[in-house]
Amino acid sequence: MEENERDKGGEVEIWSWGAGTDGQLGTTRLEDEHLPQLLDLPRFSSAGPISLLACGGAHVLALTTDGKVVTWGRGTSGQLGHGDMVSSLQPKHVKLLESFVMTHVSAGWSHSGFVSDTGCLFTCGDGSFGQLGHGDCKSHCSPVKVSYFDSKHVDQIACGMRHSLVLLKGTGLSGDQVYGFGSGKRGQLGVSMDNTRSISVPQATVGLEGVEIISIDANGDHSAALSANGHLYTWGRGFGSTSDVHCPRCLPSSLCFTQVALGWNHMLVLTGGGEVFMLGGNRHGVLGDPQKGSQVKHLSEESREENLEKVQGLDGLNVVQIAAGAEHSALVTENRVIKTWGWGEHGQLGLGNTYDQISPQAVRLGHRLPGQHTMIKVYCGSGFTFAIKAVIPSQT
């Protein structure tokens, strides 16, 4: 039995915790969980081993290794792509995408984006702000192909609260391009120096010309792009007390960045050296405690410039992955330990309580799979967290 499972690549555990009242935890219960819950795998693995999760406001998209998509959680805006406006406690296939091989997915507050291996982009869910990119403000309950990109090859999609970003990898002279659509009120589309209310037809960002982009991210009203040479560009709502930025701006830093994770009011970055820095985190971990908040806030009140600050308490640990929810953060260390910090009111830190944490705390996942040859990935939705633990196939 076990051998068979191993042959099929079935040695995967999926864990979830945090806000769960829309079924987003996949536990089939509509309640918060303060400790990591091991999910009943057969319900998730019927589509094949899961390779990637995308967690949104209260819904989850799972991409399998063979390019299929299953979704669950809140579906009241059509964001699950099941063809209705109904939430789902059970993971269900996105039937409309069955004939495609999907390579990338992203979940926003209440909309979803899917990219196929042929470079096609599909979106569904809430379209009130034009964030689906179909040239109108209609919502869709099944993925609809974004015709603007018909003759282009889409590489990635990133969905924020009310906007979307799309990355096109350049061929020849055209170079990489990032497009934005949806709400642009805080500058999050990066398409113009002026205030843009919202646009429903994708438009190219200004200021990334000639830059090789390897990844894009969007959350809240923030946008970010990471370049191949380790530079980070951000635009959208200002962090902390800084003003909004309407065009991509390179973060002045001598560090080389390899990953970025955006929250609603903070940003995490991972350096090539495995160190984690945070921008705009002066309320991170003190939201639920006004007294503590006023103390922390006082410290940085005077500085109008938000600076990257090294995340405290990691003591030289080598970090390999970062993730950010709306107001909480998670990371995975080289030794496969998950650590969380930030807002904890819904148990999204997975520490067995609802306290906030200013510095990263270790999450205990239980030890069903042997620790030695596993890899762990962590994903954050607005108020919840998922972790995937998989056995790395041994060499023998």
Partner 1 sequence: MSYDDVEIEDMEWNEELQAFTYPCPCGDLFQITKDELRMGEEIARCPSCSLFITVIYNMEDFAGGSDPNTKKGLEPSKQQPVAVA
Beta bridge partners of 380: 385
Among 327, 332, 365, 389, binds partner 1 (CB under 8 A): 327
Please say which residue, 64 or 77, places its beta carbon nearer to partner 1: 77
Told to check if 246 binds partner 1 by CB under 8 A, we report no
Among 273, 290, 313, 366, binds partner 1 (CB under 8 A): 290
Among 161, 245, 380, 390, binds partner 1 (CB under 8 A): 161
Nearest in space to 184 (alpha carbons), one of 105, 245, 100: 245
Please say which residue, 156 or 188, places its beta carbon nearer to partner 1: 188
Please say which residue, 155 or 327, places its beta carbon nearer to partner 1: 327
Which is it for strands 69-73 and 88-93: parallel, antiparallel or unpaired?
antiparallel
Q: How far is the CB of 349 from partner 1 (least distance, A)?
A: 13
Q: How far is the CB of 36 from partner 1 (least distance, A)?
A: 18
The window from 112-120, 170-178, 202-210, 321-329 that contacts partner 1 (CB under 8 A) reads 321-329
Q: How far is the CB of 75 from partner 1 (least distance, A)?
A: 13
- Residues in binding contact with partner 1, number by CB under 8 A: 28
Told to check if 253 binds partner 1 by CB under 8 A, we report no
* 29, amino acid identity: R
Told to check if 140 binds partner 1 by CB under 8 A, we report no
Told to check if 109 binds partner 1 by CB under 8 A, we report yes
Please say which residue, 65 or 295, places its beta carbon nearer to partner 1: 295
Would you give the distance in Å from CA 75 to the centre of its chain?
18
The window from 21-29, 45-53, 203-211, 309-317 that contacts partner 1 (CB under 8 A) reads 21-29
Q: How far is the CB of 153 from partner 1 (least distance, A)?
A: 32
The window from 33-41, 94-102, 360-368, 375-383 that contacts partner 1 (CB under 8 A) reads 375-383
Q: How far is the CB of 345 from partner 1 (least distance, A)?
A: 5
Told to check if 222 binds partner 1 by CB under 8 A, we report no
Q: How far is the CB of 306 from partner 1 (least distance, A)?
A: 14
Told to check if 74 binds partner 1 by CB under 8 A, we report yes
The Cα 104–Cα 169 span in angstroms is 14
Told to check if 385 binds partner 1 by CB under 8 A, we report no
Can you give the binding site for partner 1, defined by CB under 8 A? 19, 21-22, 24, 57-58, 74, 109, 128, 161, 185, 241, 264, 287-288, 290, 293-294, 325-327, 343, 345-346, 381-384
